[in-house]
């Protein structure tokens, strides 16, 4: 291959060190590069130009002694190369970081989250409101010196602001606070959610309409915010596992898989092949479960209530299989550190095979009743187009990204468990519209069946659980593991200080990027399209709000 410049063979770490001599490498855990804040924005622009166009995760941090900052996980979609950057705020009392929302659009909501949790003000961020907590919240809860007594339960309503703060850095180094208007007086703003049949939970939008056409859309998250990341900081590692099932409840198995993988990576623990097989099969069953629910809910949103029941009828069969082995339907508690909670049920293999035999013809039925239907096509084809660039920029992984032509499947990008050894296709569409997003999921059910078929007959013998020490302590360092959740990349970031509970645990939400790109997709669409778009983006709200 023709090489554009001589630096092509250098790793990105070497390149950054060449650009920024002040960058420091710390090798604990996964290792990361600390870069100076003054030139961080230029570095981000440069990285983007080098092909690092996917911001996997942005984590706000409080390193103690008044040192705040953020950790950025960045990947190049072309080469698959990864880099982790760390930036400190300029001074302990000054909480300003340059916003990289103009480089990676997905950073916008993540920066709001970091502001909400840590009070880090991102300069030139167009919308520096809190993301999850109320606007009248006192203090920033994930700061280590936060006092919960500051915020008693408030009994008054929160009034939605029509304007938003915005911070700019003056040449003399001081911050000025401006306000930007979101909705004008005369706009016809309707409130969709948090109690609304089509928001799949308690997500809330404020939508400015012109007739039936959407002009602006403003997302309000946090109605089911439980502070899971904060809770994790006071729980032991095995205890944190119980919370992951409650993030994306349709990806319980995969979420917990990611956390177990991350902890096992920190501990240097190898799990047996039997466990890898079981985890892979469980993840795929979970994916089928989630996609069936996706089909059902999309049909319901589109008004085809009967198809909804068909999807649920068949999902019940998956849930029965899961329940028999794990003891739970939504909250399965199956993966544990070093293995799984219990060996697979003696009936498991038989039932899974029966299910596969049942599911294939049923999928045809779905296509007959909904996919082929002229009304469904009219409503899905060509509506809510997300371009590939936008999908990457927002970090909209999962079916949404693949519908836009972005090969973002973690199972292919960073194979884990058995995914490196099984044969399956990454379903890709290029249209990026609602129909492509829908079809990706329907095809993925077939692929999941295919993966399970390859594994189910040759689950190797072995122990289903490696014994671990009674108290688990991860060596000091930072760790990031990701799995392909039901609706995208689900990542776990742990910063450990060698204690029995994590110093900081961050979950890369699969739903937050999907919600952040909603405004771009829905602008100019009709109000009925918003429902189709929301349905095909397939977000799960507890996973967004955490």
Partner 1 sequence: MFDFSIVTQAIHTALLSIMPEGLAIFLECVVVGVCLLLMYTVIAIVMIFMERKVCAAFQCRLGPVRVGPWGTLQVICDVFKMLTKEIITIRHADRFLYNLAPYIVILASVLAFSCLPINRGMEVLDFNVGVFFTMAASSIGVVGILLAGWSSNNKYSLIGAMRSGAQMISYELSIGLSILTIVVLTDTMQLSEIVERQADGWFIFKGHIPAIIAFIIYLIAGNAEVNRGPFDLPEAESELTAGYHTEYSGMHFGLFYVAEFVNLFIIAGLAATIFLGGWMPLHIPGLDAFNTVMDYIPGFVWFFAKAFFVVWLLMWIKWTFPRLRVDQILTLEWKYLVPIGLANLLLMVIVVVFKLHF
Partner 2 sequence: MTNNSYIKGFLHGVGSLLTGLKVTGREFFTPKVTEQYPENRATLKMFDRYRGELTMPHDADGNNRCIACGLCQTACPNGTIRITVETVTDPETGKPKRRLARYEYDLGSCMFCQLCVNACPHDAIRFSTNFEHAVYTRSKLVKTLNKI
β pairing state of 96-98 and 121-123: parallel
- Select the span of 98-106, 163-171, 235-243, 523-531 touching partner 1 (CB under 8 A): 523-531
Residues 201-220 contacting partner 1, CB under 8 A: 209, 212
Whole-number minimum distance, CB 35 to partner 2, in Å? 37
In angstroms, the CA 511 to CA 491 distance is: 12
In the list partner 1, partner 2, none, the entry touching 356 (Cβ below 5 to 8 angstroms by class) is none
Residue placing its CB nearer to partner 1 in the complex, 146 or 435? 435
Q: From the list 36, 194, 328, 415, which residue makes contact with partner 2 (rule: CB under 8 A)?
A: 328
Site for partner 2 contains 342 (CB under 8 A)? yes
Whole-number minimum distance, CB 372 to partner 2, in Å? 5
DSSP letter assigned to residue 29: B
Q: From the list 261, 292, 531, 537, which residue makes contact with partner 1 (rule: CB under 8 A)?
A: 531
Token pair of 17 as six digits: 């060190």
Give CA 497 to chain center in angstroms: 25
- Whose tokens are 């927002």? That residue is 394
Residue placing its CB nearer to partner 2 in the complex, 38 or 368? 368
Q: How far is CA 435 from CA 28, 439, 511, in A?
A: 45, 6, 19
Q: How far is CA 505 from CA 59, 239, 413, 415, 437, in A?
A: 9, 13, 23, 23, 31
The 220-259 site mask, x for binding partner 2 (CB under 8 A), equals ---------------x--xx-xxx--x-------------
Residues 130-189 contacting partner 1, CB under 8 A: 188
Site for partner 2 contains 499 (CB under 8 A)? no
Cα angle 533, 537, 541 (rounded to 5 degrees) comes to 110
Q: How many residues bind partner 1 (CB under 8 A)?
A: 33
Whole-number minimum distance, CB 167 to partner 1, in Å? 33
In angstroms, the CA 537 to CA 381 distance is: 14
Q: From the list 303, 372, 460, 475, which residue makes contact with partner 1 (rule: CB under 8 A)?
A: 303
Q: From the list 67, 144, 313, 350, which residue makes contact with partner 1 (rule: CB under 8 A)?
A: 313
In the list partner 1, partner 2, none, the entry touching 528 (Cβ below 5 to 8 angstroms by class) is partner 1
Q: From the list 76, 160, 324, 373, which residue makes contact with partner 1 (rule: CB under 8 A)?
A: 373
Q: Is the dihedral of CA 347, 351, 352, 354 positive or negative?
A: positive
In the list partner 1, partner 2, none, the entry touching 305 (Cβ below 5 to 8 angstroms by class) is partner 1
In the chain, the largest separation of any two C-alpha atoms, in whole Å, equals 71
Site for partner 2 contains 382 (CB under 8 A)? no
Site for partner 1 contains 376 (CB under 8 A)? yes
In the list partner 2, partner 1, none, the entry touching 235 (Cβ below 5 to 8 angstroms by class) is partner 2
Give CA 522 to chain center in angstroms: 20
Site for partner 2 contains 324 (CB under 8 A)? yes
Q: From the list 95, 263, 300, 336, which residue makes contact with partner 2 (rule: CB under 8 A)?
A: 336
Backbone angles phi, psi at 489, to 5 degrees: -75, 120
Whole-number minimum distance, CB 170 to partner 2, in Å? 47
Residue placing its CB nearer to partner 1 in the complex, 236 or 362? 362
Token pair of 302 as six digits: 């589109």
DSSP string over 319-378: HHHHHHHHS-SSS---EETTEESSPPPTTHHHHHHHHHHHHHHHHHHHIIIIIS-HHHHH
In angstroms, the CA 497 to CA 331 distance is: 29
In angstroms, the CA 204 to CA 383 distance is: 21
Residue placing its CB nearer to partner 2 in the complex, 12 or 376? 376
Cis peptide, bond prior to residue 246, ω within 30 of zero: no
In angstroms, the CA 467 to CA 338 distance is: 7
Site for partner 1 contains 437 (CB under 8 A)? no
In angstroms, the CA 355 to CA 445 distance is: 12
Residue placing its CB nearer to partner 1 in the complex, 197 or 470? 197
Whole-number minimum distance, CB 352 to partner 1, in Å? 23
In the list partner 2, partner 1, none, the entry touching 345 (Cβ below 5 to 8 angstroms by class) is partner 2
Residue placing its CB nearer to partner 2 in the complex, 341 or 387? 341
Site for partner 2 contains 466 (CB under 8 A)? no
Site for partner 2 contains 333 (CB under 8 A)? yes
Residues 344-373 contacting partner 2, CB under 8 A: 345, 365, 368-370, 372-373
Backbone angles phi, psi at 82, to 5 degrees: -120, 150
Characterize 88-123 residue by residue with b for buried, 16 or more Cβ atoms within 10 angstroms of its Cβ, and e for exposed: bbbeeeebbbbbbbbbbbbbbbbbbbbbbbbbbbbe
Cβ neighbours for 494, distance < 8 A, ≥ 6 positions apart: 262, 263, 266, 474, 478, 479, 480, 502, 504, 505, 506
Residues in the chain: 546
In angstroms, the CA 518 to CA 204 distance is: 12
Q: From the list 35, 37, 299, 340, which residue makes contact with partner 1 (rule: CB under 8 A)?
A: 299
Site for partner 1 contains 306 (CB under 8 A)? yes
The 353-372 site mask, x for binding partner 1 (CB under 8 A), equals ----------------xx--
In angstroms, the CA 79 to CA 165 distance is: 38
Site for partner 1 contains 305 (CB under 8 A)? yes
Q: Which residues bind partner 1 (CB under 8 A)?
A: 188, 190, 196-198, 209, 212, 299-310, 313, 369-370, 373, 375-376, 378-379, 526-531
Q: Which residues bind partner 2 (CB under 8 A)?
A: 235, 238-239, 241-243, 246, 306, 310, 313, 316, 320, 323-328, 331, 333, 336, 341-342, 345, 365, 368-370, 372-375, 377
């Amino acid at each position: 291959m023709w090489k554009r410049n001589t630096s092509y063979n250098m790793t990105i770490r070497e390149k950054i060190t060449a650009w920024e001599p002040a960058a420091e490498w710390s090798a604990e855990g996964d290792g990361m590069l600390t870069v100076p804040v003054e030139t961080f924005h230029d570095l981000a622009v440069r990285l983007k130009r080098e092909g690092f166009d996917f911001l996997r995760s942005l984590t706000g941090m409080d390193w103690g002694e008044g040192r705040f900052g953020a950790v950025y996980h960045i990947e190049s979609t072309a080469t698959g190369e990864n880099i982790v950057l760390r930036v400190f705020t300029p001074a302990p009392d000054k909480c300003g970081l340059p916003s990289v929302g103009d480089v990676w659009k997905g950073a916008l909501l993540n920066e709001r989250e970091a502001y909400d949790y840590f009070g880090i003000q991102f300069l030139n961020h167009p919308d520096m409101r809190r993301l999850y907590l109320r606007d009248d919240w006192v203090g920033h809860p994930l700061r280590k010196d936060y006092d919960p007594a500051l915020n008693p339960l408030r009994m008054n309503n929160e009034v939605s602001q029509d304007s938003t703060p915005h911070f700019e850095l003056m040449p003399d180094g001081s911050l000025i606070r401006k306000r930007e208007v979101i909705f004008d007086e005369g706009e016809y703003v309707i409130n969709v959610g948090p109690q609304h049949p089509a928001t799949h939970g308690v997500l809330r939008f404020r939508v400015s309409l012109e007739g039936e056409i959407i002009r602006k859309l403003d997302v309000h998250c946090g109605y089911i915010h439980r502070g899971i990341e904060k809770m994790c900081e006071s729980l032991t590692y095995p205890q944190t596992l119980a919370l992951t099932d409650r993030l994306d409840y349709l990806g319980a198995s995969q979420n917990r898989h990611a956390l177990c993988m991350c902890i096992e990576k920190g501990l240097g623990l190898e799990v047996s092949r039997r466990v890898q097989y079981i985890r892979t099969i469980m993840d795929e069953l979970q994916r089928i479960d989630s996609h069936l629910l996706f089909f059902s809910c999309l049909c319901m949103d589109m008004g085809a209530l009967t198809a909804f029941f068909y999807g649920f009828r068949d999902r019940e069969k998956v849930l029965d299989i899961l329940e028999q082995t794990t003891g739970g339907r939504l909250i399965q508690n199956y993966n544990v550190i070093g293995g799984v909670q219990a060996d697979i049920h003696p009936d498991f293999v038989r039932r899974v095979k029966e299910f596969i035999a049942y599911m294939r013809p049923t999928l045809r039925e779905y296509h007959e009743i909904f996919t082929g239907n002229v009304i469904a096509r009219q409503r899905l084809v060509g509506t809510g187009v997300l371009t590939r660039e936008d999908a990457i920029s927002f970090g909209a992984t999962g079916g949404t990204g693949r519908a836009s032509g972005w090969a973002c499947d973690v199972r292919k990008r960073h194979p884990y468990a058995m995914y490196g050894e099984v044969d399956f296709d990454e379903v890709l569409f290029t249209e990026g519209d609602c129909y492509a997003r829908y079809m990706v999921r329907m095809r993925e059910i077939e692929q999941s069946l295919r993966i399970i078929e390859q594994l189910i007959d040759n689950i190797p013998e072995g122990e289903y659980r490696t014994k671990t020490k009674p108290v688990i302590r991860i060596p000091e360092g930072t760790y990031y593991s990701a799995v392909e959740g039901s609706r995208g990349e689900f990542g776990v970031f742990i910063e450990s200080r060698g204690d029995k509970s994590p110093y900081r645990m961050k979950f890369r939400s699969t739903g937050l990027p999907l919600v952040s790109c909603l405004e771009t997709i829905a602008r100019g669409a009709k109000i009925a399209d918003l429902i189709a778009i929301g349905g095909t983006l397939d977000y799960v709200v507890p996973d967004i709000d955490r």
